[in-house]
A and B are shown apart, each in its own frame.
Chain A
Amino acid sequence: MKFLKLTSLFATTAMVGILVAAGGATPVAAQGKTLIIGAVFTPESLDGDINLPGTQNTVVQTYEGITRYGRKKNAQGEEILDSAVIEPHLAESWTTSADGKLVTFKLRRGVKGPSGNEMNADDWVWSWDKSFAQKRTGNFIARVSNVTTSGGGVEKVDDYTVNFHLDGPSSILLKALTLYTPSIYDSKITKDQATAEDPFATKWILKNTAGFGPYHMSELKPGEQAVFTENPNYFGKKPFFDRVVFRMVPSGASRLTLLRAGQIHIAENMTAQQLNELKKDKNVTVRVFPGRSVAAVRMNSKIKPFDDVRVRQAFNFATNKQTIIDTVFLGEGEPARSFVADFIDGGLMGSEPYPYDPVKAKALLADAGYPNGLDVELNYSDINAWEEPMAIQLQNILKESGINVTPKRITGSDMRARSHIKVQDIPFFTYEDGPIVLDAVYAAYLIAHGTGGVSNRTNLSVPRINELIDLARVELDPDKARSMMDELQKIWVEEAPWILTTFTPVGEAYSPKLKGFVSYPDNHERWSDLRLEE
């Protein structure tokens, strides 16, 4: 017995000793040119057309667009994107036909992937054919830009020339081509991975990268981390970081502590509260940008009681937007006026459409046949940190107008599945998505279109809105397009498919030594822009 006791005593002392000695973090800077990111998820898919958690954050680093936005300096001397300027990127130049229905691209030469293969027209055609076949995000982007999706939309002319056939002139196409999807794949590699049942190698693409961007994925351990290494043959400027570790740290609190301790360079997805806390810390840089997606609480126009527009408007009047901003977003942001953010050209101007007015709310409800208020279930999930606090605050606020809200949590995947455009069976739920292209028409097609709007999710279908969107998509005159957008946004606001709260502010927290951040519309920084400065 004594022996056992002695051993345990020794073991404990030794452990405490080593704990003290080994504790404490080695600061990140001492370790070479590896960028470490504390992420919420390892990418569940590397296919830009299958957007799962972690996909966008990583795919934008390995697959670049045919075009890209220009850059300029803002008032603080920082580099920002200039959405008015479109530069060639994977393309070298392009010409548009007189009727606007044919755009001919000349490919840039010498664009090589890590394997040494040079990009050519076959790659472009294969990649777009893949997106057409999958009929998902890439296909949507093609449609919204008027590219023919029924076959032959993208056609090889010769090894370095490609024709894009459009159904009508498009003001959006060049902007849409800045996107990461349809991704341009190294088709020599992907064709090798294709099988009879899987002609576009989607299974392989899901878990591997084969692009021409500055990084490629060298290792994937799902649930743990993904490692990206620089493309040695990249045609653009050589990035500072030759290695990026995209590490999964599911708890926001852990990401925060890791950032503070200097163990990671970037912490993804911090809540408003955490960002607030981090602002006080000199070891951390926090930047908050106005958001481009509404933290919306959506109402399904086909399910009772929300099939009555008066009820939907009543819910809007019953919500005190400022209180929500103060409690859920800690005072950051303004009440939203439409689904298009202010800073996007074409957003609706004017005053708040539904100021807080419980009296009016009750009156509208009584009109609609609910003089004694009503009971509803609000579904929320864990996809966004604001969803649960939003549900709780709404419950508290709406009861002033006689509306009894019961919050009910569902899984993130349930939420995505049931709000999908083919299903759309949730009556009342929280959801956030917004345009990754800074264009009002794009946003309108995405969100408000009755048949094409993949982010519609609430069965909204107003013929005049659909009509206006379809007209605006082919309207090249900016003034005419602007007045169409104004009209359709006004109608949309009247229809009130959402409780228009506010745009979720986008917060980034990173090490103060990290420089070179340029903000992108998809809210993901590009690793190739970043560098470390002591």
Chain B
Amino acid sequence: MTTFENFRAEAEPPEYSVGRRMIGLARRSGTATIGLAVVVVFGVVALIAPLIIPYDPVAIFTDRLLQPPSATHWFGTDGNGMDVFSRVLYAARYAFGVAVPAVTISVLIGVPLGLLTGYRGGMFDEVTVRFMDSLRVFPLIVLALAVVAATGQSLLNVILIIGILDSPVFVRLVRAEVLQLRSSTFVEAAVATGNPVRRILFVHLLLNSTKGAMAQVAVRAAWAVRIMATLAFFGVGIEAPTPEWGSMIRQGAEYMATGQWWVGVFPGVALILLVLGFNMMGDGLQDLFDPRRRAEKR
């Protein structure tokens, strides 16, 4: 092979089948696999929720307010007479329904922006980086709360704002990778052989710099689910009686002191599990893709 073809080969990922890659993944990171399994379970529940839940999540049973867990209502009923189990399961749809678009927005904004600034450099880079760095002085939770409260509370707003506020992470990540790769030999070679700039960016850089970003996707998804629940807990963004874990905890908080713990604890546990699942996925993937860590097996 010519030198050039060697470089090209280096740039393309090896062609293993999906199955083999999965097994490789599982072997190399138990954490990521467990995390993935949890997320998949929740995802499946979210998809088929309307089919498997015993009751309509907003159906009111006026004669059964605040019942403890029983055979007819596995997680009990809440203060309005709604079945907690059905609501907890159905709320998974909102979790994914917000997290997936929000993270997608973050990626769609962050990755291209990171590529551009990393590659272009110069004034544009300076300004963008400074701008993003400046945003870091605001705690994300407070910022999200303040902005959603100010701009009016709709689900769409919530998704957009979470998506936008989380994009700097991707910008930084991709940019860092790009800066590293920019000076690597294969890019120089690509340039030298006359590849157009756009091709360089989107073929070579994209493939190589986004591995780290992929691991972040899971972590950002965890954050998105968490932030949405926090917003709902403070009464921002989600309307009653929508089943959403954060707003269920909000109602449950008042009942915790009178001993009706099930209203708040079950949605809380579900929330923790899903967020943990995403975090484990992210952690495992980060471990895999960080070359320094990989070289570390002692």
| Residues of A near any B CB (own CB < 8 A) | 251-254, 256-257, 271, 273-274, 277, 323, 326-327, 330, 382, 388-389, 391-393, 395-396, 406-409
Chain A residue numbers with a CB within 8 Å of B59 are 396
Q: A327-B65, A407-B239 are in contact. Are A251 and B80 (CB under 8 A)?
A: no
Instruction: State the CA gap A251–B250 with chains docked (Å).
Output: 11
> Count the A-B residue pairs with Cβ separation under 8 angstroms: how many?
57
- Give which listed residue, B63, B81, B257, contacts A257 with CB less than 8 A: B257
- CB neighbours (8 Å) of B58 from chain A are 396
Assembled-state Cα–Cα distance A450/B256 (Å): 45
Q: Please state if A251 and B235 are interface contacts (CB–CB under 8 Å).
A: no
Note all chain A residues with C-beta closer than 8 A to B206: none
Contacts of A253 in B (CB 8 A): 253-258
| A256 x B258 contact (CB < 8 A) | yes
Q: Using CB atoms and an 8 Å cutoff, list the residues of chain B in contact with chain A.
A: 58-60, 62-63, 65-66, 79-81, 153, 235, 239-241, 253-259
B153 neighbours in A (Cβ, 8 Å): 409
Query: In the complex the two chains form, is B60's CB within 8 Å of A393's CB?
Result: yes
> From A254, which residue of chain B is reached at the shortest CB distance?
B257
Using A274-B258, A327-B62 as known contacts, list a sample of 7 further A-B pairs with CB atoms less than 8 Å apart, ordered by residue number in A.
A251-B253, A252-B254, A253-B254, A253-B256, A271-B254, A273-B66, A273-B79
In the complex, which residues of chain A have a beta carbon less than 8 angstroms from the beta carbon of B257?
251, 253-254, 256-257
Contacts of B259 in A (CB 8 A): 277
**29 A-B pairs (CB sep. < 8 Å):** A251-B253, A251-B254, A251-B257, A253-B255, A253-B256, A254-B257, A256-B257, A271-B254, A273-B66, A273-B258, A274-B258, A277-B258, A277-B259, A326-B62, A327-B60, A327-B62, A330-B65, A382-B235, A388-B240, A392-B60, A392-B80, A392-B240, A392-B241, A393-B60, A395-B241, A396-B59, A406-B239, A407-B240, A409-B153
Complex Cα gap A236–B239 (Å): 51
Query: Across the two chains, which residue of chain A brings its CB closest to B65?
Result: A327
Residues of B within 8 A of A407 (CB): 239-241
Interface of A is mostly: helix
Our pick among A277, A323, A406, A408 for the contact of B62 (Cβ within 8 Å) is: A323
B148 nearest CB across to chain A (Å): 13
Tell me the bound Cα distance from A330 to B65 in angstroms: 9
Distance (whole angstroms) from the CB of B193 to the closest CB of chain A: 53
A273 surroundings in chain B (CB, below 8 A): 66, 79, 255, 258
CA distance in complex: A220, B143 (Å): 31
Closest 5 CB pairs of A and B: A253-B257, A277-B258, A396-B60, A257-B257, A392-B241
**Complex Cα–Cα for A391 and B241 (A):** 9
Contacts of A256 in B (CB 8 A): 257-258
B271 to chain A, nearest CB (A): 20
Q: How far is the CA of A396 from the CA of B239 in the complex (A)?
A: 15
Residues of the B chain whose Cβ atoms lie less than 8 Å from the Cβ of A406: 239
Q: How far is the CB of A391 from chain B (nearest CB, A)?
A: 7
Contact A327 B258 (CB under 8 A): no
**Least CB distance, B283 to chain A, in whole angstroms:** 24
Residues of chain A within 8 A (CB-CB) of B235 are 382, 409
Residues of A within 8 A of B60 (CB): 327, 392-393, 396
Could you tell me the distance in whole angstroms from the C-beta of B248 to the nearest C-beta in chain A? 13
Q: How far is the CA of A251 from the CA of B66 in the complex (A)?
A: 19
Bound CA–CA A273/B257 (angstroms):
11
A392 to B78, CA, bound (A): 12
Residues in B whose Cβ lies below 8 Å from that of A274: 254, 258
Query: B246 CB to closest chain A CB, in angstroms?
Result: 14
Taking CB atoms, residues of chain B closer than 8 Å to A382 are: 235
Q: How far is the CB of B92 from chain A (nearest CB, A)?
A: 21
A273, B263: Cα distance in complex, Å = 14
A388 to B82, CA, bound (A): 14
The smallest beta-carbon distance between B262 and chain A, in angstroms, is: 14
Closest Cβ of chain A: how far from B155's Cβ, in Å? 13
Alpha-carbon distance A256/B256, docked complex (angstroms): 11
Report the Cα distance A395→B62, complex, angstroms.
13
Rounded to whole Å, the gap between the CB of A9 and the closest CB of chain B is: 27
Residues from chain B with Cβ under 8 Å of A408 in the complex: 239
Contact assessment for A389 and B62 in the assembled complex, using a CB-CB cutoff below 8 Å: no
Q: Are B81 and A327 in contact (CB under 8 A)?
A: yes
Question: Could you tell me the distance between the alpha carbons of A274 and B258 in the complex, rounded to whole angstroms?
Answer: 7
Interfacial chain B residues near A323, Cβ < 8 Å: 62
Q: Which residue of A lies closest to B254 (CB)?
A: A253
Residues A393 and B80 in contact in the complex (CB < 8 Å), given A327-B62, A408-B239: yes
B254 contacts across to A, CB distance below 8 A: 251-253, 271, 274
Residue of B nearest to A256 (CB): B257
The complex places the Cα of A264 from the Cα of B257 at a distance, in Å, of 16
Expressed in whole angstroms, the Cα–Cα distance for A254 and B253 within the complex equals 10
* Given contact pairs A408-B239, A409-B235, A327 touches B255 in the complex (Cβ within 8 A): no
CA–CA, A388 to B251, complex, Å?
A: 10
CA distance A257 to B256 in the complex (A): 10
Residues of A within 8 A of B256 (CB): 253
